Amino acid sequence: MKIIAKTLFGLEEILEKELIEFGAKETNILNRAVEFQGDQALLYRANLCSRLALRLLVMVDSFQAHNERHLYGKIQQMDWSKYISGKQTFAIDCTAYGERFRHSKYAALTVKDAIVDQLREKTGRRPSIDTNEPDVKINVHISDIHVDVSLDSSGDSLEKRGYRLEAMEAPISEVLAAAMIILSGWNRQTPLFDPMCGSGTIVIEAAMMAANKAPGLDRSFGFERWSDFNAELLENLKQELVQNETKPQVEILGRDRHRRAMAIAERNARRAGVDRNVTIEAGDFMKKEPPFEQGWIIMNPPYGERLNEDDEMEAFYHEVGFKLKHEYAGYTAWIISSNNKALKRIGLKPDTRIQLYNGALECRYNGYTLFAGKRQDQINRD
């Protein structure tokens, strides 16, 4: 079957690599997505194990539609009794681009009416719509006249691992945090440090990676309400994944100057089952010494999105850069921010620049190799 894994901008290539490791075949990179071929076991495994996908869609039909009447007729031609019983609820998630279908909501209503009318005629019952927790979520993507119809196998977004029930203001998403760790090239052996850890998302995701702990073990999925759900297959996969977990041999530390953040991060780590693999402590990055002789820093500092914060943020980022340069020689540091002007005030030349999005904010994710002395002297020695 054809499966489409949705993700964030900039993560398509590393998501493709991850899916191939799971066993995906015939992969093809799309915009914020990767399509591939796989069976039911791979679908379940990808939902359980993917750190980079937002949701996994199973393609059920593709066709062309020139207007709403045509769309209604094409949807009516599909046998929806294979996917939705008379007792189940469903919802439509529709996106439409182009001149033919200008309003996603109208297109979604057309699809909904076609499904309801067909099932009511076949069963004598009108299926119910539930936009909050539907038994079956149907994804419709319309690009001009091309229509893809899929079933959402994930249910809630896969970034909802189940551990982050509490958060500080504007927390980074679990998928983005995992991607930042992977893109940084962290080898799971070098000590990892987040000096502004907030709710603990980055260090928790790192600890889960170090323990080889699948991120989806403690949540449910949309496919569990499908008519072909294989409970035995899912349980066997979960047991296999648990048996493959390991005890990390690396130090992972999250630090934050706000004690409330520290308390939230500790509880989140406990819910994620990695509280023994990660240390959370209170402390101000500007005032405390480096925790390790050498290490890997991944940092999501404040961006200063409020008005009149430009000067304050530029000064803050300058202090961060000064601290890194003079006290963290031997470390590798990665910093994400949407504030490009402030990011330049770090005062260090990045080895790598990657464009990412944190929510709607376009960000730069910069990697720095930190060493004592001048950069040119280090280049000459190398």
- The domain containing residue 119 runs over which residues? 2-152
Which tokens sit at 141?
Answer: 């993507």
User: Going edge to edge, which strands form the sheet with 89-97?
Assistant: 25-30, 33-37, 2-6, 55-64, 146-152, 136-143, 89-97, 128-129
Q: In this structure, is residue 165 part of a structural domain?
A: no
**Same domain, yes or no: 8 and 78:** yes
**Same domain, yes or no: 23 and 72:** yes
Which tokens sit at 22?
Answer: 């799971």
Cα–Cα distance measured from residue 174 to residue 60, given in angstroms and rounded to the nearest whole number: 29
pLDDT digit string (tens) for the chain, length 382 residues:
999 999 999 999 999 999 999 999 999 999 999 999 999 999 999 999 999 999 999 999 999 999 999 999 999 999 999 999 878 899 999 999 888 888 899 999 999 999 999 999 888 888 889 988 999 999 999 999 999 999 999 999 999 999 998 777 778 999 999 999 999 999 999 999 999 999 999 999 999 999 999 999 999 999 999 999 999 999 999 999 999 999 999 999 999 999 999 999 999 999 999 999 999 999 999 999 999 999 999 999 999 866 567 788 999 999 999 999 999 999 999 999 999 999 999 999 999 999 999 999 999 999 999 987 554 444 444 4
**Same domain, yes or no: 205 and 323:** yes
pTM over 0.85: yes
**Same domain, yes or no: 186 and 273:** yes
pLDDT score at 169: 75
pLDDT score at 41: 98
**Same domain, yes or no: 195 and 82:** no
pLDDT score at 378: 45
Q: In this structure, is residue 168 part of a structural domain?
A: no
Cα–Cα distance measured from residue 12 to residue 35, given in angstroms and rounded to the nearest whole number: 10
Cα–Cα distance measured from residue 318 to residue 342, given in angstroms and rounded to the nearest whole number: 8
pLDDT score at 126: 83
Which tokens sit at 265?
Answer: 């991060």
From 152, 185, 208, the end of a domain falls on: 152
> Which CATH number is 178's domain given?
3.40.50.150
pLDDT score at 382: 44
**Same domain, yes or no: 193 and 316:** yes
pLDDT score at 374: 56
Tally of structural domains, the chain: 2
Q: In this structure, is residue 354 part of a structural domain?
A: yes
**Same domain, yes or no: 144 and 179:** no
Q: Three-class SS of residue 280?
A: strand
**Same domain, yes or no: 180 and 265:** yes
pLDDT score at 381: 44
pLDDT score at 86: 78
> Which CATH number is 129's domain given?
3.30.2130.30
